[in-house]
A and B are shown apart, each in its own frame.
Chain A
Amino acid sequence: MQKLLLKLRMLFRRGRAGDQLQDELQFHMDQQVAENIAAGMSHAEARRAALRTFGNPAALREQARDTWSWQWLELLLRDLRFGIRRLGRTPAFSALAILVMALGIGANVALFTVVHSVLLKPLPFKNQDQLVRLYEANSKGAFQDNVLAGGTFASWQSQAKSFDQMALKKGIVYNVSGAGGQLPEVVYAQTVTWNFFPMLGVEATQGRVFLPSDDRVGVNATVVLSGGLWKRRYGGDPGIVGKTILLDARPYLVIGVLPDWLNYPDAKVQLWTPIYHERSPVVMAMHTAHNLDAIGRLKPGVTIRQATAELNSIQRQIRQQFPDGPVNDAANIRPILDGDVYQLKTGLYAMFAATGCLLLIACLNIANLLVARAATRRRETAVRTALGGSRARLICEQVTESLVLCCAGGVIGLLLAESAVRWLIHARHDIPRADSIHVDGMVIVFTLGVMVICGLLVGLIPALSSNDKHILTTLQESSRSYSGGHAGLRLRRGLLGLQVGLTVVLLTSAGLLLKTYTRLRAVDIGSATHDVLTMEINLPRGSYRTPEQIVSFYERLSDRVRQLPGVQGATVATILPGEGHKRDDVFSIREHPPLPKGQVLDASTFFVDPNYFNTLQIPLLQGRLFQPDERLDHTPGVIVNQTFVSQFFKGENPLGKHLLSDPDGQMEPGGPGLEIVGVTADARESVSDDPFPTIYFPFYSGQERSGTLAVRTAQTPSSLAIPVQQAIASIDPDLAVSNVLTMDQILDYSTLSASFDATLLFAFAVISLLLAAVGLFGVLSYIIAQRTTEIGIRIALGAQREQVMRLMLGDGLRPAIVGLVVGLIASAGAARLIQSMLYGTPPVDPGVYVLVSATLLAVAVLACTVPAWRASRVDPMQALRME
């Protein structure tokens, strides 16, 4: 402790300590002089003798100072001063280098922030490594991440021994209707089992969370509010617990408020209700209705592998009990965080790798420029070495200089990253956990690490390239104007080749993703998409109890909307094309022989009203469309799509055949079935998936209370949003709509990540191409400057200027071509890693590879032509006179 104090004192009062040392030594000296005089010497003689025994006072002072252990700091400060001064002497170079590093580091820090916050940062729950997400799976590997059926969950919960707890959650929307003049509002909510909160270790800040007695059928409805909703809608009312609020026009008792920090599974969740109270007990007991998210807490010491094995064996038995329905035969477990973000992993890591490449290219480029500078300082270096400067000191100086560059770049980069991250959150609202993305301590540490690594890399390459073994040669060499030593040049060519290689990898990856994106956007999904306005409507259970009420509402809605000026068609359906795969059900065909035991047919389930196909311009191929008065109860007809026919009725006429399907558990088994009355063209569920066999059921059967309204218009669709909402309010003023979007927006949204990845990677690739071009230009200019004399001699001896130009061009292009070949090989490997992000594009796509090679060569030739041309213009007389 005292030692430390002493050291610190020495650090901060070095100046005074230096004076004191001087005094101390002077005192010693004077004593010696005095003694010498006492021994009979003259004053001058005594002084000389004293000095003789004393030695070199400066060296002595230095040696004493050495023991203060702050020597390194003084050296560092000195190097720092030198470094900054040297950078200041070439402000353009320094500014450019700092800018390049800032871009490189900024991009990396931004991506790291996202990767760290989204993929790596643990959820804020105690022992979160025991928390897992549970899925049903197919033992043949057809799919691994299927959501759970209620009956399956019950079996797992009662039989599995690997888990402390298992809980369910299921996203849902509620109409929170206005009490006392408040506007109605659609809120995003979760229904959960009562043990959801205890399992995560979350407690209410007011009131309580659910008890087992709340989480069952027939008890009073209860709700727990998020901290956000409580503050926003209820003004932080301290007496909220015990009050009743209306959800879907039914009363719910508020029993608690949750802490603000709770953002699992999503920060958008506004309120929570108990799942067994909300959902029908029949559905919750079925093994075939897959629609619940299950999470679990493993017992301490149980691994995911063990737990999966146990669930697998339970699920196999369930499958044996139900060999017919869509019941899975295996299970899959992921860490809880993985369950939310695994789809993002490849994309984010690919982007992160791309920024890494970009930074490496930036470092190589600056190292390359510094090598050139080191070469111009060879004479200085040699002189210093000859005078006894140690190599370590010289390297230290060089590294300090590059560290200054990288630190300046890093600080600016961190600021850039901060705004980049903000832009990214805005641009990618589909990223889960987006609210947790921010620059934190870990990110700062990462930035510091990157700065230091870059500084060392950038500094060590040129420092080690200046070899001091041949001081004499260098001293002689640099007296003449030719030959810069070949080691440095080889190194620069190598760096350049590497840089070009990395650029090629980025270019091809960007090319593949761009092609994927254009392929996706070129897909015709098979329905009208322009000028279509959509909005979701969710009829509250409380006020729309019977199918008749539901149907009458939607019929009146369609009529009103159709009468609005500019409307060309309006329809209501459970799903629209391009919205993604939402639901499928099993069926069988009455006219076909029974399937082997354990096999089922499966098709997507759409409920559509009679105007669906006309409004969305999906052509009818055979038969007829639904009639306006068609209801499931009296005309049991369905429509199927073309894929359905080609898959299940090869070479047969599907019209008049009957499907035994049970989308709502309302048909008796063995009944007459539903007659196929029409066949329409395919409309894709999502742009990236092939059309799926689909059965269209009449929406006017009244079983579905939620639907999406689609309105095709003659004018800008968004201009109709207000009139349509007014039409809805005129029928039911307490009804709120959600997700008012145009169909083009829905499609944009589904290709958002593809467009985002492609654009970002393309930007990175262009930047690195620019850097590579600058590198090529710099290296060739340098080579030519070094060889001016040689070129002069060649021309004087009769070489043609074209020959000289070709020679120089070849010299410059060689590293580019080597880099291109290496880069193309590496690209093939990189493309395989991002294969899952590609659509309609093979990883080794000849078109992309050829285009990239051509672009790169064109840029390389362009970058080399100017210096090569300059070389061919060399005036031999002048070149030789420079000697």
Chain B
Amino acid sequence: MGKPSDLVQGTLDLLILKTLSIEERHGWAIAKRIQQMSGEILQVQQGSLYPALHRLEQQGWIKAKWAESETGRQAKFYSLTAAGRKQLEAETANWARLSEAINLVVREA
């Protein structure tokens, strides 16, 4: 079942931040969005998603508010804070560097 190690360590934060950079979403929508954008390859497990969301909230990178969802129920919507936006930039750059490096190794070796 869903352990954080299903995804490359630390990339879940990046994915969540990225997803939220476009608009505020609730947890379900975030998971769906990641799944959809990755061509159904990345399945975010709830066991990873909610602890990650709460951690990011504690870090002050995202903030949450309760609002009516598309189905008319109350849902918790997350959105990016200014600090989160900065963090997203940093993590994006970091990811680009890392994946490039891994690519280099994988191709050359």
Report the bound CA distance from A696 to B9 in whole Å. 97
B interface, size bucket:
20 to 34
Q: Which residues of B contact A882 (CB under 8 A)?
A: none
Told that A24-B75, A60-B50 touch, could you supply 7 new A-B pairs with CB distance under 8 A? A23-B74, A27-B28, A27-B69, A28-B28, A28-B50, A59-B47, A67-B51
Q: Is the CB of B73 within 8 A of A64?
A: no
A69 interface hit (Cβ, 8 Å): yes
Contact partner of A6 (CB less than 8 A), chosen from B1, B2, B45, B58, is B58
The digit string for B59-101, where 1 denotes a CB below 8 A from any CB of A, is 1100000100101011110000000000000000000000000
When distances are taken between beta carbons in the complex, the residues of chain A under 8 Å from B13 are none
* Contact call A25/B50, Cβ cutoff below 8 A: yes
B83 to chain A: closest residue by CB: A2
Q: Which listed residue, A20, A30, A53, A66, touches B46 by the CB 8 Å rule?
A: A53
Proximity bits, B31-45, A CB within 8 Å = 1, else 0: 100000000000001
Tell me if B57 and A55 are in contact (CB < 8 A): no
Contact sample, A vs B, 19 pairs, CB 8 Å cutoff: A7-B58, A10-B58, A20-B76, A21-B50, A24-B50, A25-B50, A27-B69, A27-B76, A28-B26, A28-B27, A31-B28, A31-B71, A53-B45, A53-B46, A67-B54, A67-B55, A67-B58, A68-B54, A69-B58
Chain B: minimal CB distance from A72 (Å): 14
Is A3 an interface position by the 8 A CB rule? yes
Q: Are A25 and B59 in contact (CB under 8 A)?
A: no
| A-side interface mostly | helix
A63 at the interface (CB under 8 A from B): yes
Q: Which 9 A-B pairs have the closest CB atoms?
A: A67-B54, A67-B55, A31-B28, A63-B51, A64-B50, A55-B1, A24-B76, A3-B60, A28-B28
Which residues in B have their C-beta under 8 angstroms from that of A3? 58-60
Closest chain A CB from B68 CB (angstroms) = 11
Q: Within the assembled complex, what's the spacing in Å between the Cα atoms of A59 and B71?
A: 27
List residues of chain A with CB under 8 Å of any chain B CB. 2-3, 6-7, 10, 20-21, 23-25, 27-28, 30-32, 34, 53-55, 59-60, 63-64, 66-69
Which residues of chain A are within 8 angstroms of B2 by Cβ–Cβ distance?
Answer: 55
Closest to A32 in B: B28
Contact A64 B51 (CB under 8 A): yes
Q: How far is the CA of A374 from the CA of B23 in the complex (A)?
A: 57
Asked whether, in the complex, the Cβ of A24 is within 8 Å of the Cβ of B27, the reply is yes
Say whether B54 contacts A27, CB under 8 Å: no
Q: How far in angstroms is the closest Cβ of chain A from B83?
A: 9
Chain B residues within CB distance 8 Å of chain A = 1-2, 26-28, 31, 45-47, 50-51, 53-55, 57-60, 66, 69, 71, 73-76
Q: Tell whether, in the assembled complex, residue A63 and residue B50 are in contact, meaning their CB atoms are under 8 Å apart.
A: yes
Return B35 CB to nearest CB of chain A, in Å. 11
Nearest chain B residue, comparing its CB with the CB of A69: B58
The distance from the CB of B95 to the nearest CB of chain A, in whole angstroms, is 22
Residues A27 and B46 in contact in the complex (CB < 8 Å), given A6-B57, A55-B1? no
Contact of A27 with B60 in the complex, beta carbons under 8 Å:
no
Please give, as numbers and ranges, the residues of chain A lying within 8 Å of B71 by CB-CB distance. 31, 34
Query: What B residues does A28 contact at CB under 8 A?
Result: 26-28, 31, 46, 50
Decide if A68 touches B26 in the complex (CB within 8 Å): no
Beta-carbon nearest neighbor of B49 in chain A = A28
A681 vs B108: C-alpha distance in the bound complex, in angstroms? 111
The CA-CA distance from A24 to B31 in the complex, in Å, is 13
Which of A25, A27, A54, A59 has the most chain B CB within a 10 Å cutoff? A27
- Are the CB atoms of B54 and A25 closer together than 8 Å? no
B27 contact set on A, CB distance < 8 A: 24, 27-28
Q: Say yes or no: B60 contacts A2, CB within 8 Å.
A: yes
A33 to chain B, nearest CB (A): 11
Minimal beta-carbon separation of A80 from chain B (angstroms): 25
- A27: chain B residues within 8 A (beta carbon): 26-28, 69, 73-76
Alpha-carbon distance A55/B58, docked complex (angstroms) = 24
- B29 to chain A: closest residue by CB: A31
B residues within 8 A CB of A63?
A: 47, 50-51
Using CB atoms, name the residue of chain B closest to A7: B58
A59 to B27, alpha carbons, bound, how many Å?
A: 17
CB distance from A66 to the nearest CB of B (A): 7
* Known A24-B76, A27-B26, A27-B75; contact A60-B46, beta-carbon cutoff 8 A: yes
In the bound assembly, the distance between CA atoms of A27 and B76 in angstroms comes to 9
Q: Which residues of B contact A64 (CB under 8 A)?
A: 50-51, 53-54
Query: A32 to chain B: which residues have CB within 8 Å?
Result: 28
Chain A residues with CB under 8 A of B28: 27-28, 31-32
- B1 and chain A: residue at smallest CB distance: A55
Beta-carbon nearest neighbor of B43 in chain A:
A53
Q: Which residue of A lies closest to B30 (CB)?
A: A28
Tell me how far the C-beta of A46 lies from the nearest C-beta in chain B, rounded to whole angstroms: 15
Which interface residue of B45, B47, B55, B74 has the most chain A CB atoms within 10 A? B47
- Name the distance in Å between B38's Cβ and chain A's nearest Cβ: 17
Q: Which residues of A contact B69 (CB under 8 A)?
A: 27
Set of chain B residues within 8 Å of A21, measured between Cβ atoms? 50, 54
- Name B47's contact: one of A6, A7, A34, A60 (CB within 8 Å): A60
Residues of B within 8 A of A34 (CB): 71
Residues of A within 8 A of B57 (CB): 6
Cβ of A9 to closest chain B Cβ, rounded Å: 11
Neighbouring B residues of A31 by C-beta, 8 Å: 28, 71
> How far apart are the CA atoms of A28 and B76 in the complex, in Å?
10
What residue in chain A is nearest B81 (Cβ atoms)? A2
